[in-house]
């Protein structure tokens, strides 16, 4: 055990001593195999430097937390700049080849020691390597979730139409997730703008089911808890029939035929008047 | 991967309820739950911890960060109290054996994604709730 | 146990709740408020809760109880500044606080209380005046 610990630190310091040679051979190999993939030499060197330092640290300490967070960090950057997982995998494979040769140069005459050394650095490099695909998948999921959220947000535009009056036109198919988001976005906006009246226009939604209707009722109730009153406008004959057939009670909810009727009512409640000169 | 656990919170007085919901909120913030979910989780913990105090007198709340393929928070509330004779009834809105609103268990179920209740009269109660990220 | 400060402004008692209350403290606050209403004879109670991040069924019920007690003493209650997340959670818990007036902030709360408890005649007059100004 003490022997491998010694060898571990011996290896780490040996690699550190050979830093210059490793980097040179690494870059040369990458260039020779045309693996720079649009990155310039400085960028690759910088990335290589970080990979190398992280690797040595893991080799020295046997702790791979840093390697994992590096893999995560690199993956996120790579996906955003359009580089694939191929780049980092090739980076590491080439590094592995270089280290392999160096170890042979140093310990080749002593096969037993060479094997031991091989086992030590290979374990470190395999572990570090293992984080890459996982980090890539996670990073991609994270980014696609962000894009989804952004898209959802776009589809729920809350507009401040007047001081203390918000309007939210709901358009398209409402599912449970979207209605939930509408509720959360709207309530936050009510507090941010300190709006007392909200016009919820549903003329743009093709249909309604019990779940969505209940979400809408909850939105109105939650807004009321904050101190804002909702007016639901644009209830189509289609939706009105569905609501009654489903037995959904909308008696506690203020409705007006059109958006402009809703606005007129909001002005009325706020003691505002529109006057033509 | 094993779930990470923060030291469980002993519920022996109402201060414990405040500590439990502060701890779970802290974890929810760190894991990136939305503001509404943070509040949902903290409120559910508050309801369950209060149940422990009211019905069993003491118990504990264990909080786990689930870091596997699906990330989330899991909370296990345990006590050695009298247990629940009729679980179905206890889960009904507005049912209460003490003077309360009877919203504790059904409310916590609505606030969380998963809810599991194990109890036997005389053998204590364990409630496990989960919220997925 | 002075966890909550109370301010009397005109005929309104303002109670900002800013810290997380555990049971005993909460019940203590309830008693304090009701006693204060009795002593001062205020006609309006404004509870400001914008700093509260969790309102569970216990605290929700407590606030509801305070409002009911205040009402039978001739005092109207307004809860001001509920956080959106708290409002959503309250509904999901099944607590609708239907009998309580709510406003977005203290200022709107005072305005509403003014209307609820204000002298009807003077209110009528101000409304008429503002209409004349507007027209």
Asked if C96's CB is within 8 angstroms of A222's CB, the reply is no
Asked if C84's CB is within 8 angstroms of A222's CB, the reply is yes
The mean per-residue pLDDT over the stretch A11-27 comes to 84
Asked if C83's CB is within 8 angstroms of A221's CB, the reply is no
Own/partner contacts of B3-6, CB < 8 Å, gap of 24 or more, are B3/B64, B3/B65, B3/B66, B3/B67, B3/B68, B3/B74, B4/B64, B4/B65, B4/B67, B5/B62, B5/B63, B5/B64, B5/B65, B6/B63, B6/B65
Assign 3-state DSSP to chain C and report helix, strand, coil percentages, each to 5. Answer: 55, 15, 30
Does C104 reside within a domain? yes
Does C127 reside within a domain? yes
Per-residue CA distances from A59 to A53, A121, C117 (Å):
10, 7, 75
Nearest-CA neighbor of C49 among C85, C10, C94? C85
The mean per-residue pLDDT over the stretch A101-125 comes to 84
ipTM over 0.90: no
Residue C119: is its pLDDT beyond 90? no
For Cα atoms B98, B101, B106, give the angle at the middle one, nearest 5 degrees. 105
Length of chain C: 135
**Binning pLDDT at 50, 70 and 90, where does residue A47 land?**
confident
Does C88 reside within a domain? yes
A215-257 pLDDT tens trace: 888 889 999 999 999 999 998 888 888 888 888 888 888 999 9
Give the integer Cα–Cα distance in Å for C56 and C51: 14
- Candidate ranges A90-104, A118-132, A162-176; pick with highest mean pLDDT: A162-176
Q: Find which of B39, B94, B113 to mutate to test the C interface (most C CBs within 10 Å of its CB).
A: B39
Give the integer Cα–Cα distance in Å for C13 and C10: 8
Residue C126: is its pLDDT beyond 50? no
Q: What are phi and psi of A269, to 5 degrees?
A: -60, -35
Does C2 reside within a domain? no
Per-residue tokens: B126: 């364990």
Q: Which of A68-77, B38-47, C70-79, C115-124 is predicted least confidently?
A: C115-124
- Candidate ranges A96-105, A111-120, C104-113; pick with highest mean pLDDT: C104-113
pLDDT at C135: 35
Domain range spanning residue B63?
4-132
More confident residue, B109 or A210: B109
Residue A41: is its pLDDT beyond 80? no
For residue C128, give the CATH number of its domain: 3.30.750.24
Nearest Cβ partner for A191 among C102, C104, C130: C104
Going along chain C, which residue ranges are E strands? 7-9, 12-16, 44-48, 76-80, 101-103
Provide the shortest C-alpha distance from residue A275 to chain C (in Å). Answer: 9
C7-60 pLDDT tens trace: 998 899 999 988 777 777 888 889 999 999 999 999 999 999 999 999 998 899
DSSP A162: E
Q: What is the pLDDT along chain B (133 residues), one digit of tens a residue?
A: 455 667 789 998 888 998 999 999 999 999 999 999 999 999 999 999 998 988 888 999 999 999 888 899 999 999 988 888 777 777 777 777 766 666 788 889 999 999 999 888 888 899 999 999 8
More confident residue, A40 or C69: C69
Domain range spanning residue C130?
7-134
Secondary structure class of A50 (helix, strand, coil): helix
Does C1 reside within a domain? no
Does C46 reside within a domain? yes
Residue A115: is its pLDDT beyond 70? yes
What total of structural domains would you count in chain B? Answer: 1
**Binning pLDDT at 50, 70 and 90, where does residue C2 land?**
very low
For residue B66, give the CATH number of its domain: 3.30.565.10
DSSP C107: H
DSSP A276: -
Q: Find which of B103, B108, B110, B113 to mutate to test the C interface (most C CBs within 10 Å of its CB).
A: B103
What total of structural domains would you count in chain C? Answer: 1
Query: Across chain C, what does the average pLDDT equal?
Result: 83
Length of chain A: 277
Per-residue CA distances from C69 to C38, C59, C65 (Å):
11, 15, 6
Q: Which of A148-157, A257-266, B116-125 is predicted least confidently?
A: A148-157
For residues A116 and A5, the answer to whether their CB atoms sit within 8 Å is: no
Per-residue tokens: C124: 């009528």
Q: What is the CA radius of gyration of chain A?
A: 31
Please give the domain boundaries of chain A with CATH numbers for all domains. 2-147 (1.10.490.10), 159-269 (3.30.750.24)
Per-residue CA distances from A190 to A91, A256, B16 (Å):
51, 20, 34
**Binning pLDDT at 50, 70 and 90, where does residue A176 land?**
confident
């Amino acid at each position: 055990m003490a022997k491998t610990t010694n060898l571990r630190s011996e290896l780490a310091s040996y690699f550190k001593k050979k830093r210059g040679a490793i980097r040179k051979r690494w870059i040369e190999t990458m260039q020779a195999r045309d693996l720079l993939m649009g990155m310039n030499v400085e960028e690759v060197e910088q990335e290589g430097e970080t990979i190398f330092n992280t690797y040595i640290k893991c080799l020295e300490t046997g702790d791979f937390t840093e390697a994992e967070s590096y893999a995560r960090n690199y993956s996120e950057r790579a996906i955003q700049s359009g580089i694939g997982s191929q780049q980092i995998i090739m980076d590491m494979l080439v590094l592995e080849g270089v280290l392999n040769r160096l170890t042979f140069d140093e310990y080749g005459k002593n096969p037993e020691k060479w094997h031991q050394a091989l086992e030590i650095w290979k374990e470190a490099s395999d572990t570090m390597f293992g984080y890459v695909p996982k980090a890539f998948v996670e990073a991609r999921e994270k980014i696609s979730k962000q894009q989804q959220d952004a898209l959802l947000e776009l589809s729920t535009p809350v507009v401040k139409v007047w001081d203390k009056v918000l309007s939210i036109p709901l358009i398209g198919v409402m599912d449970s997730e979207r209605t939930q988001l509408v509720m959360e976005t709207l309530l936050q906006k009510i507090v941010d703008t300190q709006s007392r009246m909200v016009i919820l226009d549903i003329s743009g939604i093709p249909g309604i089911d019990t779940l969505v209707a209940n979400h809408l009722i909850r939105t109105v109730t939650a807004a009321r808890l904050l101190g804002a009153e909702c007016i639901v406008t644009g209830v189509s004959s289609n939706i009105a029939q569905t609501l009654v057939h489903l037995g959904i009670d909308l008696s506690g909810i203020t409705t007006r035929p059109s958006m402009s009727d809703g606005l007129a009512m909001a002005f009325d409640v706020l003691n505002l008047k529109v006057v033509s000169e | 991967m094993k779930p990470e656990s923060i030291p469980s919170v002993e519920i022996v007085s109402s201060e414990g309820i405040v500590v439990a919901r502060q701890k779970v909120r802290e974890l929810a913030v760190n894991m990136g739950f939305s503001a509404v979910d943070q509040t949902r989780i903290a409120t559910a913990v508050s309801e369950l911890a209060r149940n422990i105090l009211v019905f069993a007198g003491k118990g504990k709340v264990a909080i786990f960060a689930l870091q596997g393929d699906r990330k989330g928070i899991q909370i296990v509330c345990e006590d050695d109290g009298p247990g629940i004779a009729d679980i179905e009834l206890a889960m009904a809105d507005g049912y209460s054996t003490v003077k309360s609103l009877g919203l504790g268990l059904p409310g916590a179920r609505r606030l969380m994604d998963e809810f599991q209740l194990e109890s036997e009269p005389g053998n204590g109660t364990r409630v496990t709730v989960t919220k997925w990220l | 146990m002075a966890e909550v400060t109370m301010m009397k402004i005109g005929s309104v008692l303002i109670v900002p709740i800013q810290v997380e209350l555990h049971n005993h403290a909460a019940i203590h606050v309830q008693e304090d408020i009701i006693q204060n209403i009795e002593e001062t004879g205020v006609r309006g109670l404004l509870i400001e809760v914008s700093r509260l991040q969790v309102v569970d069924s216990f605290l929700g019920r407590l606030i509801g109880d305070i409002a009911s007690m205040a009402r039978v003493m001739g005092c109207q209650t307004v809860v001001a500044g509920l956080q959106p997340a708290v409002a959503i959670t309250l509904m999901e818990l099944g607590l609708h606080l239907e009998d309580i007036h709510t406003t977005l902030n203290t200022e709107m709360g005072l305005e509403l209380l003014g209307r609820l408890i204000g002298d009807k005649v003077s209110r009528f007059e101000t409304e008429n005046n503002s209409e004349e100004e507007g027209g």
